[in-house]
Chain A
Amino acid sequence: MAETAVEVTGVSKRFRLYHERNQSLKAAFMRGRRAKFDEFWALRDVSMSVPAGKTYGLIGHNGSGKSTLLKCMAGILVPDSGAIRTQGKVSALLELGAGFHPELSGRDNVYLNGSILGMSRKQIDAQFDQIVDFAGLEQFIDTPVKNYSSGMYVRLGFSVAINVDPEVLMVDEVLAVGDESFQRKCMEKFKEFRDQGKTVVIVSHALGTMRTMCDEVAWLDHGEVVGIGRPSELVDEYVGASHEDRQDVGEGQGARWGSGELQVVAAELLHEGRPVTKIPTGEPATIRLHYRATEPVQEPVFGIALHTLDGQHVTGPNTRDVDLSTGVVMGDGYVDLDVPRLMLTPGTYGLSVAAYDHSLVHAYDHREKIVRFDVTPGEPRDQFGVVTLGGSWSLDAVRRAEAS
């Protein structure tokens, strides 16, 4: 389908940054005009075309202009130059339940919010049961929304927005609402949406989701398009580039506690004998803990933990689980954890380290997120989840014969 759903041509958007937001006539008279401001280009000559029926992602770090672009596409902001053409009805999910009136019932707010999003009364009548059912709020629909929990509030907001039935849906970081089961429902709804051949434009920092969901992504940096292409390639490139300039390999990122007679003074990641902050999937790695004991410590246990950035605990090996006797530790030294192949999928990981007594009850030193490192694409090339199994795929002989 070569048709274009959203055509963006040479769009630039300038914001005013006020030095001193003095919104008074007095200030205006004193300075001769309005408060002084700097101009800031949020978007500079951005062009792209979103193909109809595809899911299109916008990636980039904070302040790259992706949300501004989405707002321009949705008609909330007006670009200073350039043009945006959209084909078909557009619905934007920027904030769920924007425009809910707290005093009005859920029912009234469904109608109000629906019409703000461009639905006619008849359409809302037809969808009403579905909207309420999807949000799971049958019993509360006649209660004023001020009495809703925040979860109920966003669920109703999401439910209205997703049932607007637009041809183009624009989403900004609102997929992570509600509890797990509601999130699953949302993802299913999105899939249904895509299967119906609708267009979705999505802004998110959840790169894993972007890689899975999008057919095409555009990468923005400082208001300019860096690249447009297939998500599998561009997302990796983006991850690679955005970590190039990472400086925060320093210590003391997270919490630290413990009695202190034995301290983990530093931790590093070694690749081919050199300390690194980036390492490709599947490469051999060594995690080295430098310790210092100010008095003799009997049979301490050294351990590490790896977490993803969103806090998921990946693994937590320690010396006691493998029955390694550490004897009496005194003075400076180090402990190595040798990993023959680092089976983590590309992404950023946090390393926490600890030294405990043999019962794992008393902490000598426990340091959260002491080091961060990035795993870059390597072999195996798996991209989903956190770990890769390193397996190899094969087809059975019969199929192969049929295929040839």
Chain B
Amino acid sequence: MYPGPEPKCSATRDPILEDPISALNDVLERRELLSNLVLRELRGKYKGTALGWFWSLLNPLAATLIFTIVFGAILRVTPTEGAGGVRNYTLFLLCALLPWNYFSGVVTGGMGALIANGNLIKKTAFPRELLVLSNSAALFVTFLIEMAVLAVALLVFGLNPLLWLVPTLVLMVLLAVFGTGLGLMLSVANVYFRDSAHFVAIGMQVLFYATPVIYPITLVAGVRPDSLVARWHVDDLYMANPLVHFVEAFRDLLYEHHVPSLGTIAVVVLSSAASLAIGWLLFGRFSKRLAEEL
């Protein structure tokens, strides 16, 4: 009959099949494709630029410089006290800014991943979620490098992070999961409504200021109870943002060197799980018509 390997009987994507487990299997089976897509993103991104890979470090460096000057030097935001009494706005900022940048890249990049690869989706068959996953994975590589540079900087400024690297890595993975879940949801939404991208762009801007990246959370916690913010429960709403907890957890580990509170850990873990589960289900449900809707 067939030369070579045993023929395996595979049902090509049954329409009734909305089984997330088999979708997961698909992804696992195609992990080589995932790694090739990741390589494509990494290699393709800075191809043809003189500085190449340095750009992935130069961009956050420029942002750090700007924020340090504007918020650290001009507006004089006082950072919280780090481990061993260190108070350094730049380090304080970076512990939150790098995770934020990664999150932002995962969400916006993941959201555009399907449209950017429209032709591929229309002409070839492969698990479409790989496109979103590969964006998250490719950015994770740069994220790792940035965090490694930050670890060295922390060490130089007397905040030895060595003991806290492993929990930080776990937290980074959770952040990746959280962002990828959102990316999966938004990627299909963006195919059906192209406005989504613009909404999200505004949303990310709001979210950036609604997360204690450039200022310490103590400033929010310390608003007067009779102020407008407190009376309208803006501060409660503020705490409902999972990213606040992610960022705080990163600072707890890297800047203040203590284990995050149980509440923070719970929010971080649960929101990651919920985001991925919902994202995965929605993606599975709406990705069937992608080839014709794109």
Partners in one complex: yes
**A contact residues vs B (CB 8 Å cutoff):** 1, 3, 15-16, 23-26, 28, 34, 52, 71, 73-88, 90, 92, 94-95, 98-99, 101, 103-104, 108, 111-112, 115-118, 120-121, 144, 165, 167, 196-197
Q: How far is the CB of A70 from chain B (nearest CB, A)?
A: 11
Q: Is the CB of A92 within 8 A of B119?
A: no
Known A-B contacts A28-B193, A76-B122; A103 and B48 likewise in contact (beta carbons under 8 Å): yes
Q: Is the CB of A23 within 8 A of B195?
A: yes
Q: Is the CB of A115 within 8 A of B195?
A: no
Q: Is the CB of A78 within 8 A of B32?
A: no
Q: Is the CB of B119 within 8 A of A98?
A: yes
Any A CB within 8 A of the CB of B231: no
Q: Is the CB of A26 within 8 A of B3?
A: no
Give complex CA distance A25, B123 in Å. Answer: 28
Any A CB within 8 A of the CB of B50: no
Q: Point out the residues of chain B lying under 8 angstroms from A86, CB to CB.
A: 10-12
Q: Is the CB of B40 within 8 A of A104?
A: yes
Any A CB within 8 A of the CB of B2: yes
Q: Is the CB of A87 within 8 A of B9?
A: yes
Considering only residues 136-153 of chain B, those with a C-beta below 8 Å from chain A are none
Q: Is the CB of A25 within 8 A of B199?
A: yes
Any A CB within 8 A of the CB of B120: yes
Q: Point out the residues of chain A lying under 8 angstroms from B4, CB to CB.
A: 165
Q: Point out the residues of chain B lying under 8 angstroms from A144, CB to CB.
A: 47
Give complex CA distance A85, B194 in Å. Answer: 34
Known A-B contacts A1-B1, A108-B39; A25 and B7 likewise in contact (beta carbons under 8 Å): no
Q: How far is the CB of A36 from chain B (nearest CB, A)?
A: 15
Known A-B contacts A83-B11, A115-B33; A98 and B195 likewise in contact (beta carbons under 8 Å): no
User: A25-B199, A28-B193, A92-B124 are known contacts; what are 18 more A-B pairs with Cβ within 8 Å?
Assistant: A16-B292, A25-B196, A77-B291, A78-B13, A78-B289, A83-B15, A84-B12, A85-B12, A87-B7, A98-B124, A99-B119, A99-B123, A101-B44, A116-B33, A117-B124, A118-B33, A118-B126, A167-B2
Chosen A-B contacts, 12 in total, with CB atoms closer than 8 Å, are: A74-B125, A76-B125, A82-B15, A86-B12, A87-B10, A88-B7, A92-B125, A98-B124, A111-B36, A112-B36, A116-B124, A197-B3
Give complex CA distance A269, B9 in Å. Answer: 55
Considering only residues 1-53 of chain B, those with a C-beta below 8 Å from chain A are 1-4, 7-15, 30, 32-33, 36-37, 39-40, 43-44, 47-48
Q: Point out the residues of chain B lying under 8 angstroms from A23, CB to CB.
A: 192-195
Give complex CA distance A24, B198 in Å. Answer: 11
Q: Is the CB of A94 within 8 A of B15?
A: no
In-complex Cβ contact of A25 among B39, B40, B193 (8 A): B193
Q: Is the CB of B123 within 8 A of A88?
A: no
Q: Is the CB of A85 within 8 A of B193?
A: no
Output the nearest chain B residue to A122 by Cβ-Cβ distance. B32
Give complex CA distance A94, B199 in Å. Answer: 35
Q: Is the CB of A104 within 8 A of B44?
A: yes
Any A CB within 8 A of the CB of B233: no
Any A CB within 8 A of the CB of B288: yes
Known A-B contacts A26-B195, A77-B291; A98 and B7 likewise in contact (beta carbons under 8 Å): no
Q: Point out the residues of chain A lying under 8 angstroms from B117, CB to CB.
A: 99
Most chain A CB atoms below 10 A, which of B1, B13, B37, B124: B124
Q: Point out the residues of chain B lying under 8 angstroms from A165, CB to CB.
A: 4
Give complex CA distance A266, B292 in Å. Answer: 46
Q: Point out the residues of chain B lying under 8 angstroms from A77, CB to CB.
A: 291-292
Q: Which 4 A-B pairs have the closest CB atoms?
A: A75-B125, A103-B47, A98-B123, A75-B12
Q: Is the CB of A71 within 8 A of B37?
A: no
Q: Is the CB of B195 within 8 A of A85?
A: no
Give complex CA distance A115, B33 in Å. Answer: 5
Q: How far is the CB of A62 from chain B (nearest CB, A)?
A: 17
Q: Is the CB of B47 within 8 A of A112?
A: no
Q: Is the CB of B11 within 8 A of A98?
A: no
Q: Point out the residues of chain A lying under 8 angstroms from B3, CB to CB.
A: 196-197
Q: How far is the CB of A399 from chain B (nearest CB, A)?
A: 35
Q: Point out the residues of chain A lying under 8 angstroms from B199, CB to CB.
A: 25
Output the nearest chain B residue to A34 by Cβ-Cβ distance. B192
Known A-B contacts A23-B194, A85-B11, A167-B2; A94 and B123 likewise in contact (beta carbons under 8 Å): yes
Give complex CA distance A97, B219 in Å. Answer: 55
Q: Is the CB of A121 within 8 A of B194?
A: no
Q: Is the CB of A15 within 8 A of B292?
A: yes
Known A-B contacts A71-B291, A104-B44; A116 and B12 likewise in contact (beta carbons under 8 Å): no
Q: How far is the CB of A232 from chain B (nearest CB, A)?
A: 27
Give complex CA distance A287, B289 in Å. Answer: 53
Give complex CA distance A125, B9 in Å. Answer: 26
Q: Point out the residues of chain A lying under 8 angstroms from B48, CB to CB.
A: 103
Give complex CA distance A378, B219 in Å. Answer: 92
Known A-B contacts A23-B193, A25-B199, A98-B119; A76 and B44 likewise in contact (beta carbons under 8 Å): no
Give complex CA distance A90, B9 in Å. Answer: 11
Q: Point out the residues of chain A lying under 8 angstroms from B39, CB to CB.
A: 108, 112
Q: How far is the CB of A302 from chain B (nearest CB, A)?
A: 50
Give complex CA distance A246, B33 in Å. Answer: 49
Known A-B contacts A34-B192, A98-B123; A73 and B12 likewise in contact (beta carbons under 8 Å): yes
Give complex CA distance A1, B7 in Å. Answer: 15
In-complex Cβ contact of B37 among A26, A34, A112 (8 A): A112
Considering only residues 108-127 of chain B, those with a C-beta below 8 Å from chain A are 117, 119-126
Give complex CA distance A74, B3 in Å. Answer: 21
Q: How far is the CB of B274 from chain A (nearest CB, A)?
A: 24
Give complex CA distance A73, B12 in Å. Answer: 8
Give complex CA distance A88, B289 in Å. Answer: 24
Q: Point out the residues of chain B lying under 8 angstroms from A74, CB to CB.
A: 12, 125
Q: Point out the residues of chain A lying under 8 angstroms from B13, CB to CB.
A: 75, 78
Q: Point out the residues of chain B lying under 8 angstroms from A25, CB to CB.
A: 193, 195-196, 199
Q: Is the CB of A24 within 8 A of B195?
A: yes
Q: Point out the residues of chain B lying under 8 angstroms from A88, CB to CB.
A: 2, 7-8
